Amino acid sequence: MLDAVIDEGRRTAARLGIGFGVVVFARRNADPSEAIKTARLAARRADNGVVAFGLAGDEARYSPEPFAGAFAIARDVGLISAPHAGELAGPASVRAALDVLGARRIAHGVRVVEDPALLTRLAAEGVVLDVCPTSNVALGVVKSLSAHPLPLLLHAGIRCTLNADDPLLFGPVLLEEYETARSAFALSDHQLAAIARTSIESSGAPPTLVDEAITLIRAWLDTSDHARTSAGQEAPRLHP
């Protein structure tokens, strides 16, 4: 099944002129031995379509310790450690993802704002949070978009990406999440460009694709700045 996903993903990516990579997830509610098998499967395709290894499920009910061995297998072959944490459980789950699983990307992670010391650690270590605002509201992780902590995370220096979490369930696709970030959080073009750059830099994509994407992001931002200047508007700025 994984090979079929990789083959079709590559064909579609080639047709559309984009990149493609898979994050393989283990399940918290399954026996840890299954995670070991899944990690070995992902590891065998580390240079052939798979870029990261994750852990999905309710982190409030299932601790990460039983899955440390699986993540060690994945990290040993260069896969990015990208577990879920800080969504259904609080900052302790994020800290465990860092200490037990060696996380470099964390799916969601938004409840880290409850722990200032952990915020500082994430910023210092350059750990990326894959943030899904619409999903967070739909699942009750935050009460509303106006209460969402993404602006606080960015202000704290946390590297964040924007993501569409299960569009079939929650509705918005990726572009709509960027539009929401602009309208609901008043993020500037510079902030949105920084998020996009973080997305590609932390994706596990080949360096040539990363360089090409960053060039396109810069071009978009230059065009945006020029348009604002021509209209007599002040160019948008990042938070300090």
Query: What residues contact 149, with CB distance under 8 A and at least 6 apart?
Result: 110, 113, 142
Dihedrals φ, ψ of 42, to 5°? -60, -40
DSSP 8-state secondary structure symbol assigned to residue 107: E
Strand 128-131 to 159-162 pairing: parallel
Token representation of residue 122 = 């994430």
Complete edge-to-edge strand list for the sheet that includes strand 84-85 = 84-85, 105-108, 128-131, 159-162
Q: Of the listed 65, 87, 177, 212, which one is catalytic?
A: 87
Alpha-carbon separation of residue 129 from 104, 123, 181 (angstroms)? 9, 10, 15
Check if 87 is active-site.
yes
Alpha-carbon separation of residue 157 from 24, 127, 128, 233 (angstroms)? 28, 10, 10, 26
DSSP 8-state secondary structure symbol assigned to residue 79: P
Residues annotated as part of the active site:
87
